[in-house]
Amino acid sequence: MTVSEYNQSVDLFSDRVYRFVLKSIRDIHKAEDIVQDSYEKLWKNAENVSFEKVKPYLFTTAYHTMIDLIRKEKKSLYSEDLKLPDEGRENNYSDLGEILKEAVDRLPEIQRMVLLLRDYEGYSYEEIGELTNLNESQVKVYIYRARVFLKKYIGNIEMVV
Amino acid sequence: MKINRNNYEAWFIDYLEGNLDETRVDDFIEFLQQNPDLKEELSLFETVSATPEEMTFSKKEKLYKEKYDAEKEFEYAAVARLEGDISPEENIEFERYLSVHPEKQKVVGLFEKTKLQPDKSVVFSKKNKLYHYSAGRTILLWTSRVAAVLVVAVAIYTFIDRSPGRLNFINQVAVVENESPKKEIAREVKEVPVKKEKKEVPEGKETTPVKPAAKKAEPKPEPAKSLRENSKGRLGSDDLALLQIREEAPAELEKVAASLLVEQPEVALAVMNIAYTEQQETVYEERLLADVVREKTGIGNLSVNKIKKAGLSLVSSLSNDKFNYETNEEGEITEINYDSRLLAFSIPTKNEGAGE
């Protein structure tokens, strides 16, 4: 990868990686640090990474950095203790986007990250598996569980409306 | 236990259902013979037999369950359909199920709403920290940074210069006024003495009007010292002509001031030419080497946008990141931000509007 290709990758992918990381860990400063770290690793390894592989390289690096960070903070990656909103709860949301955003925030990190890779970046199960070191069926299960939870969450709020 | 009048009912039931043990049959018969009233009661039981009626439940259809009635199966199929992961056969079956159960369409609609859309307003604002440049490019970058800063400095100077500019122009006018009339005066002064010399020659001959000639000779050096003194001191036709020249001078000088503005951008362009001259030198040396240099340094890709970015990056680093700019996916600058304790502002650039 040439220098100009590296700089081009900044223009092309830094916003996307940033959105993925920010949405996953919900901390602006940490997200910025992780994006910078990912690009720093890419720069150090620029000779071994072809331009076609830059995007998955960045997402893989960012993903694993996040996983390490979450483990350090002793958060549960796989917590299934999902709390749905009370059915009788007052609806304070202006639109579906807000409801969905809150629902996504309540997902366990691993499910959220896998779902973001799927929806934001359109990666296949197989590609997500390669990025995250999970097998394809695990990816499938996480996406399935995440969607079911989101559907129930939206459904509960809409019932009130 | 032997049969008696207290427990005979259990014996009767066993007998009627054919469950009475053979060893007990004799006792049972003996008991019935001894108690004819109970024998009669037993005969009543024998006639009672409930025969089932031919009845059918007409709403069995509602009770039948399909595969997709199981919540998990339905959700799995709905997610698979959303993900494009459902097989054609399953999809046909699922569609058929939905047509029969229209109420389930709402659930499918909810699943479709779980598809997340990226918020494109969220952008990484510190791209300038990520860019890297080669050595040649760095030199070029610094050249362009300096050029950009110079352009900014000249632009600021131009803006600042405009407001008090009128005063400057007046000063400039005054300077030029002094110069131009001086030349004219000098010429006239030279002319005057010629005339006076001519006059003096005849005066010398006549000898009588020596005093007026001496008086005329005295004011001659005065005009060379000061214009004002001349104008005040004299009221002759020559002086009036000088005054007329002064009135014309300001109109011409305004044009001179305008030409100064034109010269300023040329200063910035001169700096740009330095970068190109380097390129030209390499061209003369060897063409192939020039191509290599061009590729590595990215001179060929030099654009106004990159110069802008370079200048802004320098300002950003000088201001400890208080000054930042944002770019879109194509690398064009979309917004300029400044954030300090006292002041914060954000200026969207024209590129953003054009891009959208």
3-state secondary structure of B2: coil
B216 pLDDT higher than 50? no
**A106-152 per-position pLDDT tens digit:** 998 899 999 999 998 889 999 999 999 999 999 999 999 999 999 88
Report the pLDDT averaged over residues B307-321. Answer: 73
| CB < 8 Å & 24+ apart, contacts of A121-127 | A121/A16, A121/A20, A121/A59, A125/B85, A127/A56
Decide if B79 and A36 are in contact by the 8 Å CB cutoff: no
Banded model confidence at residue B45, pLDDT cuts 50, 70, 90:
confident
B72 pLDDT higher than 90? no
**Which pLDDT score is estimated for A78?**
60
Tokens of A155: 């459904």
Tokens of B326: 């944002």
Residues A131 and A61: their CA atoms lie apart, in Å, by: 9
Banded model confidence at residue A1, pLDDT cuts 50, 70, 90:
confident
**B225-273 per-position pLDDT tens digit:** 444 444 444 455 555 555 555 555 555 555 555 555 555 555 555 555 5
Q: Comparing A42-56, A112-126, B222-236, B339-353, which segment has the lowest mean pLDDT? A: B222-236
3-state secondary structure of A133: coil
Query: Of the spans A101-105, A138-142, B116-120, which averages the highest pLDDT?
Result: A138-142
Residues A11 and B127: their CA atoms lie apart, in Å, by: 8
Decide if B124 and A125 are in contact by the 8 Å CB cutoff: no
Torsion angle defined by CA atoms of residues B197, B229, B173 and B161, in that order, rounded to the nearest 10 degrees: 150
What is the overall mean pLDDT for chain A?
Answer: 84
**Which pLDDT score is estimated for A56?**
92
- Backbone phi, psi, residue B16, to 5°: -65, -35
Q: Where is pLDDT greater, at B327 or B54?
A: B54
**A59-84 per-position pLDDT tens digit:** 999 999 999 888 888 665 565 556 66
**Which pLDDT score is estimated for B126?**
84
**Which pLDDT score is estimated for A83?**
64
Residue with tokens 């695990």: A138
Give pTM, 2 decimals: 0.50
pLDDT-above-70 percentage for chain B: 53
Decide if B113 and A100 are in contact by the 8 Å CB cutoff: yes
**Which pLDDT score is estimated for B194?**
46
Residue with tokens 């006239």: B188
**Which pLDDT score is estimated for B78?**
92
Decide if A147 and B82 are in contact by the 8 Å CB cutoff: yes
pLDDT-above-90 percentage for chain B: 6
Residues A121 and B280: their CA atoms lie apart, in Å, by: 45
Say yes or no: ipTM exceeds 0.85. no
Banded model confidence at residue B210, pLDDT cuts 50, 70, 90:
very low
Q: CB under 8 Å to B84, separation ≥6 — which residues?
A: none
From B115, B124, B133, residue closest to A35, measured CB to CB:
B124
Helix or strand (DSSP H, E) at A113:
helix A109-121
**Which pLDDT score is estimated for B243?**
53
Q: CB under 8 Å to B272, separation ≥6 — which residues?
A: B147
B36 pLDDT higher than 60? yes
**Which pLDDT score is estimated for A81?**
58
**Which pLDDT score is estimated for A61?**
93
Residues of A with CB under 8 A from a CB of B: 3-4, 6-8, 10-12, 14-19, 22, 32, 35-36, 39, 43, 96, 100, 104, 115-116, 118-120, 125, 140, 143-144, 146-148, 150-151, 154-155, 158
Q: Comparing A89-93, B3-7, B138-142, which segment has the lowest mean pLDDT? A: A89-93
Q: Where is pLDDT greater, at A106 or A1?
A: A106
Residues A103 and A115: their CA atoms lie apart, in Å, by: 12
Banded model confidence at residue B203, pLDDT cuts 50, 70, 90:
very low
**Which pLDDT score is estimated for B297?**
59
**Which pLDDT score is estimated for B231?**
46
- Backbone phi, psi, residue B333, to 5°: -75, 125
What is the overall mean pLDDT for chain B?
Answer: 69
Residues A23 and A117: their CA atoms lie apart, in Å, by: 11
CA distance A156 to chain B (A): 11
Report the pLDDT averaged over residues B93-102. Answer: 90
A22 pLDDT higher than 50? yes
Decide if B127 and A16 are in contact by the 8 Å CB cutoff: no
Decide if B329 and A15 are in contact by the 8 Å CB cutoff: yes
Buried b (16+ CB within 10 A) or exposed e, B123-162: bbbbbbbbbbbbebbeebbebbbebbbbbbebeeeeeeee
Banded model confidence at residue B94, pLDDT cuts 50, 70, 90:
very high
